Amino acid sequence: MRMGVVFEGDASGAWNEMFSAPGQPRPIYERLLSDLNAYQPQELRQRSDQLARTFIDRGVTFAHSGEERPFPLDLVPRILGALEWDRLARGIAQRILALEAFLDDVYGAGRIFDEGLMPRATVTSSSYYCRAAFGITPPNGVRIAVAGIDLVRDEHGNFCVLEDNVRIPSGVSYVIENRRAMTQAFSALFSDHRVHPVDGYPSRLFAALLAAAPRKATEPVIVVLSPGVHNAAYFEHVLLARMMGVELVEGRDLVCRSNHVYMRTTNGERAVHVIYRRVDDDWLDPLQFRPDTVIGVAGVVNAARAGNVVISNGIGNGIADDKLIYTYVPEFIRFYLGEKPLLDNVTTYRLDDAEVRAEVLSSLAKYVIKPVDGSGGKGIVIGPQATKAELRALHKAVAAAPRDYIAQRPVALSTHPTFVGDSIAPRHIDLRPFAVNDGDDVWVLPGGLTRVALGEGDLIVNSSRGGGSKDTWVLNDESIPFRGAVPPASARSRRYPPPPRQNDEYAFQQGEQ
């Protein structure tokens, strides 16, 4: 089974990541293609089964239709070169800094409104707008400690930003576990490639959370706040807490008293200074948000406002995830940073503009329509693939609430060879790089999560819609010191101290052997 032959019938019009033409691999893939073509089909099937068993054994799962399933990992990795990654990493860092400035502004002085660059109603009408975020200024000014910026490569091979995720971005655990599984199943492939490691992420995250702690905390205590075992990303909560050497807690484990937060332990209460929360705003504090929440912590927002605890990522960040706000991010970069955007948005149309809305509604079948507060691929209607009934219902919904939707031009997401069944076939992919902001620098994890739509012709890659993933390789060229690179050991020891070892009691609680 030679991969080059498979792609002679690929008529999707999408950019092919591995081949420039049937049988003609792009230079960066030549060695990998040669190595994979040496395997017989039954060997590839065995390696694919091994990857699945590894994930089952390690509990690498996600919730789909109420059922825990192993996260599908494809055996053909995606490769990015050092030069291309350098440009992506700089563009992602630039975007995060602009979003940081925007959040500080809209929950503060509101300069962007005064200058007329954005109507105030555009922000205040968002379902993610959070009045409780006013008056809460992080000690180091960082509201976005962790970000996941979704990228797609268009038909011409250019990377574009599809959406921003700065509330509670998930998926980095799969990046770490994908690499672990691939090095076990395909160790020979790594010997032929110099691939940047991804296991430095937990120490980077720990250092960023440590840097965010209140100044008066001499020995900051960090916890990971999880909604509990039934959350779709619970595996990730456990993994990150364990790898950072901090406690994984639920709301019932914390108590607020006199605007301080304490963790209940077998040795009594212990002060908490930084909460890396994996709980949405609505469920975080019954005194500020939903009063019926049983997974939050009453009083935690007031404790943050008093400066005694830091909630990371910050409350109110969701306004930057609103897809209508996304359309303004290139303008944020120019306004707040005085720079030209390094990464373009996908061409997007604001439906709160009457003229634009009329044009889009007259030809809905030409566009992709997305709810501005949607996630996980929910609510997306791909016009060229929609039925007449779906388009009629969509027309009615958009006309009734235009602020709730955006329109985008359809992008033929790039394709990549993917092992499906017992053969290799092209499947559409995207990329979610993860970035960590410690207040001094934005570090981008070399690689990120490549998500793949496993159905033929499918364009929605989310795991909740049946998608899988690929290990993402960023090749190491030591002559190119890009932002996503891991610094020398001496620099790491100065700026990024390793997380403490977890105690035996914690390891036992998490089921470690």
Distances (CA, A) of 106 to 25, 102, 124, 277, 337: 48, 6, 10, 22, 16
Most distant pair of Cα atoms in the chain: their distance: 69
Cα dihedral 424, 425, 431, 432 sign = negative
- Could you read off the pLDDT of 254-288 as tens digits, one per residue? 999 999 999 999 999 999 999 999 999 999 999 99
Crossing angle between the packed helical segments 234-244 and 201-211, to the nearest 10 degrees: 80
pLDDT digits 0-9 by tens, 416-431: 999 887 788 899 999 9
Region 10-30: what's the mean pLDDT? 86
Q: Contact 63/232 with Cβ under 8 angstroms?
A: yes
Residue 493 CA neighbour count, 13 Å, CB half: 3
Mean pLDDT, residues 317-346 taken together:
97
Query: Where would I find the H helices in 271-327?
Result: 300-305, 323-326
Find the mean pLDDT for residues 194-198. Answer: 94
**What are the structure tokens assigned to 249, written together?**
């807690």
How many Cβ atoms are within 10 Å of 38's Cβ, its own excluded? 9
Measured between alpha carbons, how far is residue 442 from residues 93, 206, 245, 497 in Å?
6, 14, 22, 17
In the chain, the domains with their CATH numbers are 3-340+412-509 (no CATH), 347-410 (3.30.1490.270)
Length of the chain: 513
Read off the pLDDT band of 510 (50, 70, 90).
Answer: very low
Contact at 8 Å (CB) between 329 and 95?
A: yes
Q: Is 328 left (phi over 0), alpha (psi -120 to 50) or beta?
A: alpha
Collect all residues with Cβ–Cβ distance below 8 Å to 238 and sequence separation of at least 6: 226, 248, 510
DSSP 391-421: HHHHHHHHHH-GGGEEEE------EEEEEET
- Section 369-383 average pLDDT: 88
* d(C-alpha 357, C-alpha 350), whole Å: 7
pLDDT band at 485 (very low <50, low <70, confident <90, very high): very low
C-alpha pair distances (Å), 497 with each of 26, 199, 202, 208, 489: 39, 14, 11, 10, 11
Between 78 and 421, residue with greater pLDDT: 78
Q: Closest Cα partner for 286 from 251, 234, 321, 319?
A: 251
pLDDT tier for residue 465 given thresholds of 50, 70 and 90: low
User: Could you tell me what percent of the chain has a pLDDT over 90?
Assistant: 72
Would you say 192 and 29 are in contact if contact means Cβ atoms under 8 Å apart? no
Q: What is the DSSP letter of 218?
A: S
Identify which of 231, 355, 265, 257 has the alpha carbon closest to the alpha carbon of residue 309: 257
What is the model's pLDDT at position 41?
81
Task: Tell me how far CA of residue 138 lies from CA of 202, 293, 304, in angstroms.
Answer: 21, 25, 8
In order of 94, 97, 98, 332, the CA distances from 338 in angstroms are: 11, 12, 10, 9
pTM listed for this prediction: 0.90
Q: Are the beta carbons of 412 and 14 closer than 8 angstroms?
A: yes
Pairing outcome for strands 222-225 and 19-21: unpaired
Torsion sign, CA atoms 239, 62, 171, 50: positive
